[in-house]
Amino acid sequence: MRLRVEFTTEPFDLDEVPPHAVAAREVVQGAALDSVDVGPFGNTAEGRAESVLATIDELLRTSLAAGATRVSLQVNVIAEAEADTGTDADTDADTAAARGGPGEGGR
């Protein structure tokens, strides 16, 4: 099984990267994952279930110890066809929901 995790750590600091965000970034970049995308407002990583779950454990422990007061994450199972093509069937629904459109009623 393959998994994708999306996560953010808080509190945010727009002036400089907080220590908990640096710690989280180091965990995912050093993990045995297939892909990692680190951004200012969210991060995504994917790989084999065992690797993603172990990374989540380390990510939570490390970022909380470094001062995070909240860690938000979402874990999705990636269909084999999706993993092979790199497409995300939920992207359109998630985008519409984020804009307050139909689907999930906005976020």
Q: What is the pLDDT of residues 55-70, one digit of tens each?
A: 999 999 999 999 999 9
More confident residue, 95 or 13: 13
What's the whole-model pTM score?
0.72
Q: Are 103 and 97 in contact (CB under 8 A)?
A: yes
Q: What is the mean pLDDT of residues 37-57?
A: 93
Q: Are 38 and 79 in contact (CB under 8 A)?
A: no
The HSE-up count of residue 70 (CA atoms within 13 Å, CB side) is 5
Q: Is the pLDDT of residue 21 over 50?
A: yes
Q: Is the pLDDT of residue 97 over 50?
A: no
